[in-house]
Amino acid sequence: MMTTMMKNKATNYFFRYSRFFHSDQRFNLNYKNSLLLSGIPSCSKTPGIRDWTPNSPFLGSIRGCRNALNASALDHFRVGGGFQFRRFTSLSSEVQRNPSFSRLNSDDIDFFRSILGEKNVVQDEDRLLDANTDWMRKYRGSSKLLLQPRSTEEVSQILKYCNSRYLPVVPQGGNTGLVGGSVPVFDELSLQVIINLGLLNDIISFDKVSGILVCEAGGILENLSSFLDNLGFIMPLDLGAKGSCQIGGNVSTNAGGLRLVRYGSLHGSVLGLEVVLADGSVLDMLGTLRKDNTGYDLKHLFIGSEGTLGIITKISILTPPKLPATNVAFLGCKDYSSCQKLLVDAKRKLGEILSAFEFLDNMSMDLVLNHLEGIRNPLPPMHNFYVLIETTGNDESYDKEKLEAFLLSSMEGGLISDGVLAQDINQISSFWQIREGIPEALMKAGAVYKYDLSLPVEKMYDLVEVMRTRLGDSVKVVGYGHLGDGNLHLNISTPQYDDAVLAQIEPFVYEWTSNHRGSISAEHGLGLMKANKIFYSKSPETVQIMASIKKLLDPRGILNPYKVLPHSLDSSPEAGS
């Protein structure tokens, strides 16, 4: 059963019961499969594919049409003379191609076949289409080669060869990134080689005493979580894309997710790495020690570097024990100020058992209800804001009593308008399905401009309101995210991508964030999308040092080119606008 807190006329609190939710399993978005190919109109209903030009109002946002997304049709989405960085949106790139890079030839293909075998040198158009296309469908390269190494040694041989030949490579995991970091950019001359780590998926060891897992980089997050669950442990991160994303990609982007408020970032959880550098040399930092105070801790250079400094092949990571008591409450609040105050009280009163504190606005809820099947609002009618609180601990009755006391005191204080406390795993799943379903609902609603920002908690929702005033009623401005760690997911939903709308959004969003001492990337990384925006969050001196490190470790610049670092070291923000 599920309990809903209500206030009666005598101002006493009681619980009423609801049979509102049906049973289901914990919701999981398999981004790559469910979104790239779902909710897609047929080509017969898609105007202007063959007649598309760079100035077409349709702008190539064909919403992933199954029949149109093939090599011949996509040849019509060419920007300028032979530049095949095809775009599914109006977003264009000002990147200048590195003229030093070589063109892939048949001898290169033969070499890769000699070390990988025929089946792991992929030239099939359908498989290449998926590997060339980012999840957001903003970026699509046309690389003609996908390599699937099975070991660190094979990765090393590939990079040594590519470095000697000046062949740029794009490391790729589950390809679930949101900033264009895992797909090729320039490849009109068949330049870039995609290296997918999916076959490096072995679990090497697990220590039940320390909770330290050592695994290869291609392990899918959900598979690792299932392995640990059977042993009484959990991964320290949990993402909506866990059915597709790989742990190597998680580490190389320093992915955040739903458990960061409890377990911190991967900089704290990752104990060691094995990394292959651009010249093929293998950097063995695969330690399993909690303490190792012997100079520079180089692994941190590669956590969050998005494959621009080296390719991560193995990871040792500290995994927390699985706690037996999990409680989830879904709450309605009248305003954002109440959400803030509720967070402060939750940290004080729930303390160490607080494991997640998520918020969403009523527009987020509306999108989920209208675009996803089987989801219902547990707190009708609509509230202005919703908060999801999760606690995990060792004592079921104590934790639940503690949470209930907190919720009742918060309602008495006027911070909560209504609330639901899940009574079993199915209801917990239903609550999380609402929160984790927002990205999918946004994609089904139309074109979406996504911004992943860190801001002071008291300022987070101000930006949503500012953008609504700035953009008017022609678009939907949606705000949700990880309130517990100050991470706002600002999403602007429109019927189709439009350069005029984008001009109203950028660089204003980045300027506003910078002026309020925020970060333009909280957890998604920089990729191609934000590489030129880095000066809004980093000083010129810091960026120069980053560029020097890149030059030291990858002097020929073959590793994931055009990503993370600005395309010009001009220190003015205008240069990145």
pLDDT of residue 200: 98
**Is residue 71 predicted with pLDDT exceeding 80?**
no
Q: Note the pLDDT tens digit of each residue in 188-240.
A: 555 789 999 999 999 999 999 999 999 999 999 999 999 999 999 999 999 88
Query: Considering only CA atoms, which of 467, 474, 455, 477 is closest in space to residue 506?
Result: 467
What per-residue confidence (pLDDT) applies to 516?
A: 96
Please tell me which residue, 452 or 38, carries the higher pLDDT value: 452
Q: Above pLDDT 70, what percent of the chain?
A: 81
* pLDDT classification of 81: cutoffs 50, 70, 90: very low
Q: What is residue 188's predicted lDDT score, i.e. its pLDDT?
A: 54
The pLDDT tens digits for 541-563 are 999 999 999 999 999 999 999 99
Residue 190: the pLDDT is: 57
Alpha-carbon span 548 to 72, nearest angstrom:
41
Q: What is the DSSP string of 47-79?
A: TTSTT--TT-TTTT--TT-TTT-SHHHHTT---
Strands 193-196, 169-172: pairing kind = parallel
Strand partners, 315: 215, 273
As given in the structure block, the two tokens for residue 160 are: 């040594």
Closest CA to 146 of 93, 190, 114, 178: 190
307-339 pLDDT, tens per residue? 999 999 999 999 999 999 999 999 999 999 999
The candidate with the shortest Cα–Cα distance to 184, out of 172, 173, 166, 170, is 170
pLDDT at position 380? 86
CB 148 within 8 A of CB 107: no
Residue 5 has pLDDT above 60, yes or no: no
Q: What are phi and psi of 541, to 5 degrees?
A: -65, -40
Contact 205, 293 (CB under 8 A): no
The confidence band for 34, taking pLDDT boundaries of 50, 70 and 90, is very low
Residues 6+ apart with CB under 8 A from 258: 237, 238, 239, 356, 358, 482
Residue 385 pLDDT > 90, yes or no? Answer: yes
Q: What is the pLDDT of residues 146-202, one digit of tens each?
A: 999 999 999 999 999 999 999 999 999 999 998 999 999 865 555 789 999 999 999
pLDDT at residue 189, rounded to an integer: 53
Residue 8: pLDDT above 60? no
Torsion of CA 556, 558, 563, 567, to 10 degrees: 40
Model confidence at 142: pLDDT above 80: yes
The predicted model gives 122-127 an average pLDDT of 93
Whether residue 61 has pLDDT greater than 90:
no
Of the chain, the percentage scoring pLDDT greater than 90 comes to 73
Least reliable range by pLDDT among 9-13, 101-105, 208-212, 472-476: 9-13
Confidence of residue 87 (pLDDT cuts 50, 70, 90): very low
| Model confidence at 11: pLDDT above 50 | no
What's the chain's average pLDDT? 84
Contact 47, 36 (CB under 8 A): no
Q: pLDDT digit string (tens) for 462-497?
A: 999 999 999 999 899 999 999 999 999 999 999 998
Q: How far apart are CA 336 and CA 338, in angstroms?
A: 5
- Is pLDDT at 33 greater than 70 in this prediction? no
Phi (first) and psi of residue 512, to 5 degrees:
-60, -45
Confidence of residue 99 (pLDDT cuts 50, 70, 90): confident
Q: Which residues contact 167 (CB under 8 A, 6 or more apart)?
A: 101, 102, 104, 108, 161, 191, 192, 193, 558
Q: Tell me what pLDDT residue 184 has.
A: 92
> Can you give the pLDDT at residue 73?
29
Mean pLDDT to the nearest integer, 272-282: 98
State both tokens at 384: 């202005």
pLDDT at 259: 85
Cα Rg of the chain (Å, integer): 24
Predicted local confidence at residue 570, as pLDDT: 58
Residue 1 has a pLDDT of 36
Q: Is the pLDDT of residue 355 over 60?
A: yes
pLDDT value at 17 more than 50: no
Mean per-residue pLDDT, 257-282: 94
pLDDT at 38: 31
Residue 241: pLDDT band with limits 50, 70, 90: confident
Q: What is the pLDDT of residue 483?
A: 94
Distance CA 312, CA 353 (A): 33
Domains in the chain: ranges and CATH: 2-32+323-439 (3.30.70.2190), 43-196 (3.30.43.10), 203-318 (3.30.465.10)
182, 172 in Cβ contact below 8 A? yes
pLDDT tens-digit readout, 366-375: 999 999 999 9
